[in-house]
């Protein structure tokens, strides 16, 4: 059964699975690098805030745009996050 532009469900599933697997290689070091810039007393709080923002962003995307908007927005968010993390030059 075609979904978007003649694609099949398995193509979308495989693409999303590859994206999520690859984003793990980006998000974990980025979050670690960002947390290393803070005093250790703030790490737990900031980690909780970052995780809450990620969950809130997914909820907003799903509530407003549905699954068709989730993948492109997630790609843009990961790329923007990578650029912003790369701008952190000073490591304590």
Contact 70, 61 (CB under 8 A): yes
pLDDT of residue 2: 52
pLDDT of residue 21: 84
CB atoms within 10 A of CB 30: 19
pLDDT of residue 90: 62
pLDDT of residue 57: 77
Half-sphere exposure of 7 (CA within 13 A, CB side): 11
Buried b vs exposed e over 3-24: b needs ≥16 C-beta within 10 Å?
Answer: eeeeeeeeeeeeeeeeeeeebe
pLDDT of residue 12: 79
In angstroms, the CA 59 to CA 24 distance is 19
In angstroms, the CA 76 to CA 63 distance is 18
Q: Give, for all 92 residues of the chain, the pLDDT tens digit.
A: 455 555 577 887 888 888 888 888 887 887 888 888 878 888 888 888 888 887 887 787 778 776 677 777 777 877 887 787 777 666 55
pLDDT of residue 78: 77
């Amino acid at each position: 059964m075609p979904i978007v532009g003649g694609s099949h469900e398995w193509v979308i599933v495989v693409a999303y699975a590859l994206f999520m697997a690859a984003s793990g290689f980006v998000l974990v070091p980025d979050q670690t690098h960002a947390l290393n810039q803070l005093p250790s007393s703030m790490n737990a709080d900031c980690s909780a805030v970052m995780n809450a923002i990620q969950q809130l962003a997914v909820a907003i995307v799903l509530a407003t745009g549905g699954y068709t908007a989730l993948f492109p927005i997630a790609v843009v968010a990961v790329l923007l996050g990578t650029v912003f993390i790369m701008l952190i030059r000073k490591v304590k």
